[in-house]
A and B are shown apart, each in its own frame.
Chain A
């Protein structure tokens, strides 16, 4: 319990952003019609690939002789990019098909 309070005290800004982002996420998604749930799921899935930023940071900070860190970082970047590019591309493909009668 003390640790949690300490964390909040030391990271007040992050805590605020965290809470506010939760509300933004809920508000943005709440009104989305069921028609778009599949593209939304795959689009959100692509967004979760933002973890790629962390994977790149791992590689940038790695010691060039630390092969373990480099290989783990390499795999992390490949998987993250796969998630991002594949996710956005397939969402786009789906949404291209949605047409409205004139």
Chain B
């Protein structure tokens, strides 16, 4: 029996690696996800049924009930959620995973107080699980807007460091003395929960995807620790895969946003906000209307669309797809330029456009599209701002200086759709709007694009 279960775990582990690998290519991604899911199902079924223990029927019933309830709720949430709410969903699910790890530690603690190795893993599992749980819930609250975006805590760094030191001492005390007190155990859990809140609360909304990715990685580590506790390879390898994947993604995201991980965790974004105020010298703004914009696009050879999250907020993904199809039919070469952090999390814009049936091979990544802007007649920027801000190249005082951007100012003409002249997410003035090649198409993205499509249809 023991061998059979281990073979099941081995198969599951291989499906995780293969599945993750296949998730890396658009054509195989769907299959990869299903393979990993099948492996997970196999591991769960194996754990429940393949063992030699005498287990009373009541426990089987409870396990079955728990699995049923969890699957039902999870599945319902997954099919109901709107694609724009993806970051919230990932952080919520992630919090649940962390909570699960912490609860396991709570049960196992008193059985293992005399074994230093075991109690070290348990204590680390509890603390990481607790931090992930409360941190993810705070991130979730911030993303869905129920928590104020940036919360400033006085003496934050001092409090934060004290809590970290306190947790380390607390953990060392519990492991070293092997004290078997439920009160202390729950106090320890609480200290982890408090740290999770302290960790995420001061971080701004724009940096939240980095935090989610980091917390995701932590859940993986918590799972791996639980794997060490049970000497269970599927949990160990699965957890570590997620842990290292999360770290890689976190670093990639920081790079795309021109931030270091340290500055995300320890410094609030936009806190300095030095860049606003020097907008007088930027020149004048030229505005255009849908009919003129339609004429220009109609006679263009190549049009590049730069979508930002504002497009999704205005629910204009379907209209933009219609515009793109219409232009393609008229013989215009149309592409979408996707910045790595377009949307609310990396790759989010791709999902949002895919939902409106835009083929993924029309979406061109930043490095590939940037050299093509000089042959582009018209760039249409919809709901994007900071990712096309030339200040990233030429204003060392700007908070986004050095951030990789889409070089739309190299195109022959730029049309920017915006509601008003308000600054972008990062609160930074954008000199692109004052460029002599730029025309502003003011108005709600959906309304403006609908007008544009109507004008084009009449030509």
Contact = CB atoms under 8 A, between A and B. Distances in A.
Contact of A78 (B20, B66, B104, B361): B66
B103 A85 contact: no
A81 B231 CA distance: 21
Interface in B361-377: 361-363, 365-366
- Chain B CB within 10 Å, residue with most, of A33, A36, A82, A100: A82
B133 to A, nearest CB: 9
A8 to B, nearest CB: 11
Contact of A53 (B43, B53, B107, B354): B43
Interface in A45-90: 45-62, 64, 68-70, 72-90
B83 to A, nearest CB: 7
Interface stretch (B137-145, B291-299, B339-347, B432-440): B339-347
Interface stretch (B91-99, B423-431, B447-455): B91-99
A59 B231 CA distance: 17
B171 to A, nearest CB: 13
Nearest to A70: B62
A93 B86 CA distance: 11
A77 B66 contact: yes
A43 B240 contact: no
Contact of B24 (A10, A31, A79): A31
Contacts of B243: 22, 25
Interface in B67-119: 67, 69-71, 73-75, 77-79, 81, 83, 86, 89-90, 93-94, 96-97, 99-101, 103-104, 106-108, 116-117
A97 interface: yes
B75 A42 contact: no
A34 B367 CA distance: 11
A84 B44 CA distance: 10
Contact of A34 (B32, B230, B244, B338): B338
A87 B23 CA distance: 14
B391 interface: no
Contacts of B40: 46-47, 49-50, 84, 88
Given A34-B365, A39-B351, A44 B96 contact: no
A89 B360 CA distance: 21
Contacts of B365: 33-35
Interface of A: 3, 6-7, 10-11, 14, 17-18, 21-22, 24-26, 28-62, 64, 68-70, 72-101
Interface of B: 16-17, 19-21, 23-27, 29-30, 32-34, 36-37, 40, 43-44, 47-48, 51, 53, 55-56, 58-59, 62-63, 65-67, 69-71, 73-75, 77-79, 81, 83, 86, 89-90, 93-94, 96-97, 99-101, 103-104, 106-108, 116-117, 120, 212-213, 216, 219-220, 222-224, 226-246, 248-249, 252-253, 256, 338, 340, 343, 345-348, 350-351, 354-355, 357, 359-363, 365-366
